[in-house]
């Protein structure tokens, strides 16, 4: 057990000072600024946004208790395009009529006195108005595994609401694996057949946990060396089973233990104390690990492929995407290799594309940056916010997504060069007519995650770095 001091609220505040943090890094409540886009979380978010905005039918997201379903749901609420009106149902125990009333209330539909039929008609009329205005409605249902069968049947009936050509209501179900079991029942056959996309939120692997811990600490303001030793990470991985809620609980208790002991690094001793205090119940394993990962990757890649074939992409995170270093890795497509951009000089010092195929939001940014550079005067300046190895496409995508509140996505540009015998990816921000303007913008620039050292750079120098020697 942890020392009594560890549970003291004053002690909790003191541990923030002890480690130089602005806020608690491992809260179990879903705060979207702590969304971890690695381990396919960001890619899944992108795929969900695409499925919601470009397809019809019901979408299902399942995952174990504490795997991050509610956080993913909150991110959807935040990242869906403005043209999408959302209805969020957090109480799964609503009756059929209560579901209907809840949807109507969120859409500000006057509740008519009388029959259920009148309410359904009012709902359809309102949905038709929204559709005619070029908008859409999505209902997000959390804890769907706990819904009684009659409520699930109501969801199916709501999915029938349509115009002459399109569905008027998009539905997304979030639930534990028990939801899959419920849908196997014969009575649920019609609902199951309406589900067009299935996503499985999987536990974090050990390598992901290491990155996750660093990401959360940095997001909380920690700027010191690595806090958790390799042995500590190994123990956290074992104790948590890769479930983010359990990772957060153990990591938080380990920080408290370290504070009580007056140390500044978390080792096996602190994690073992945290594990004893947590008293987790055993985790049920439903599928062999490699098969679970393969299934989810296939689902996400399928949506990404649909976006590519449609000549489109999700309109939410990477304009625009979120997924870091393995830490925050948010992408829409598998890691690509590189090839020269068509229309380039043929020099090894020119921009190159991803995967040799003109696809994906990151490539679109690179292509747009190439066009921007052709038109922008040498006298202009930009702010260099990130430089990394050419193979770190996920890191770049994650960086853009995590800093979407600080950096205007319309002013974020990505370029790729070959320098020193290797590929490099760079992210620049803004377009300023003078160095003075750029320096003023840099001074006002908020904190970036991960923390770096942005600096002002002349467009002429950026262009020369890409020119033949």
Structural fold of domain 338-464: Alpha-Beta Plaits (3.30.70)
Q: Let me know if the fold of 4-32+204-278 is the same as that of 40-201.
A: no
Q: Check: CB of residue 326 under 8 Å from CB of residue 208.
A: yes
What pLDDT sits at residue 464? 76
> Where do the structural domains in the chain lie, given as residue ranges?
4-32+204-278, 40-201, 338-464
Strands 338-340, 169-175: pairing is unpaired
What pLDDT sits at residue 278? 85
| Angle at the Cα of 321 from the Cα atoms of 318 and 324, rounded to 5 degrees | 135
Residue 204 backbone dihedrals phi, psi, to 5 degrees:
-75, 140
Concatenated DSSP letters of 103-162: HHHHTT----SS-HHHHHHHHHHHHHHHHHTT-EEEEEETTGGGS-HHHHHHHHHHTT-B
What pLDDT sits at residue 346? 32
Q: Tell me how far CA of residue 6 lies from CA of 256, 259, 341, 431, in angstroms.
A: 5, 8, 57, 50
CATH of the structural domain 4-32+204-278, one choice from 1.10.287.3240, 1.10.8.60, 3.40.30.10, 3.40.50.1820:
1.10.8.60
What pLDDT sits at residue 422? 67
What pLDDT sits at residue 443? 83
What pLDDT sits at residue 320? 28
71 closest CA partner among 207, 218, 198, 243? 243
212 closest CA partner among 182, 183, 170, 240? 240
**What is the pTM (predicted TM-score) of this model?**
0.62
What pLDDT sits at residue 424? 82
What pLDDT sits at residue 85? 92
What pLDDT sits at residue 28? 87
pLDDT, averaged in runs of 10, over the chain (469 residues): 46 75 90 89 90 84 92 92 91 85 86 75 89 91 90 88 81 93 89 89 93 93 92 95 95 92 92 89 56 48 48 37 31 29 31 42 86 92 87 81 82 81 83 90 81 82 63
Please give the CATH number for the structural domain made up of 40-201: 3.40.50.300
| Angle at the Cα of 75 from the Cα atoms of 402 and 279, rounded to 5 degrees | 95
């Amino acid at each position: 057990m942890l020392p009594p001091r560890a549970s003291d609220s004053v002690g909790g505040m003191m541990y923030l000072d002890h480690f130089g943090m602005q806020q608690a890094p491992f809260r179990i409540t879903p705060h979207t600024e702590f969304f971890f886009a690695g381990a396919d979380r960001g890619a899944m978010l992108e795929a969900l946004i695409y499925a919601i905005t470009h397809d019809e039918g019901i979408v299902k997201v399942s995952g174990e208790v504490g795997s991050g379903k509610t956080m993913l749901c909150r991110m959807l609420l935040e990242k869906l395009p403005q043209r999408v009106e959302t209805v969020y149902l957090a109480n799964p125990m609503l009756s059929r009529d209560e579901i209907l009333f809840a949807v109507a209330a969120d859409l500000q539909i006057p509740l008519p006195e009388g029959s259920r039929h009148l309410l359904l008609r009012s709902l359809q009329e309102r949905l038709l108005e929204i559709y005619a205005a070029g908008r859409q409605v999505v209902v997000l249902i959390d804890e769907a595994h706990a819904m009684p069968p009659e409520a699930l049947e109501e969801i199916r009936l709501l999915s029938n609401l349509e115009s002459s050509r399109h569905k008027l209501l998009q539905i997304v179900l979030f639930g534990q694996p028990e939801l899959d079991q419920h849908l196997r029942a014969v009575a649920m056959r019609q609902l199951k057949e309406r589900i067009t996309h299935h996503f499985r939120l999987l536990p974090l692997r050990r390598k992901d946990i290491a990155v996750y811990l660093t990401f959360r600490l940095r997001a909380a303001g920690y700027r010191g060396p690595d806090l958790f030793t390799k042995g500590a990470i190994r123990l956290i991985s074992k104790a948590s089973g890769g479930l983010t809620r359990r990772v957060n609980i153990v990591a938080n208790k380990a920080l408290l233990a370290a504070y009580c002991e007056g140390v500044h690094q978390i080792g096996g001793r602190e994690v073992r104390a945290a594990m004893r205090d947590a008293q987790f119940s055993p985790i049920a394993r439903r599928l062999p690990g490699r098969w679970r990962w393969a299934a989810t990757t296939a689902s996400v890649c399928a949506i990404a492929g649909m976006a590519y074939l449609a000549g489109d992409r999700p309109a939410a995170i990477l304009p625009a995407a979120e997924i870091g270093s393995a830490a925050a890795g948010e992408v829409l497509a598998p890691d690509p290799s590189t090839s020269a951009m068509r229309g380039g000089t043929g020099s090894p010092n020119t921009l190159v594309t991803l995967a040799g195929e003109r696809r994906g939001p990151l490539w679109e940014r690179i292509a747009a940056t190439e066009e921007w550079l052709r038109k922008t005067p040498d006298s202009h300046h930009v702010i260099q916010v990130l430089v990394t190895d050419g193979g770190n496409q996920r890191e770049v995508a994650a960086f853009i997504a995590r800093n979407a509140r600080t950096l205007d996505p319309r002013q974020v540009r990505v370029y790729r060069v070959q320098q020193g015998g290797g590929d490099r990816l760079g992210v620049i921000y803004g377009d300023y007519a003078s160095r003075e303007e750029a320096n003023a913008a840099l001074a006002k620039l908020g904190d970036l995650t991960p923390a770096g050292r942005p600096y002002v750079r002349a467009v002429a120098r950026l262009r020369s770095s890409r020119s033949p020697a």
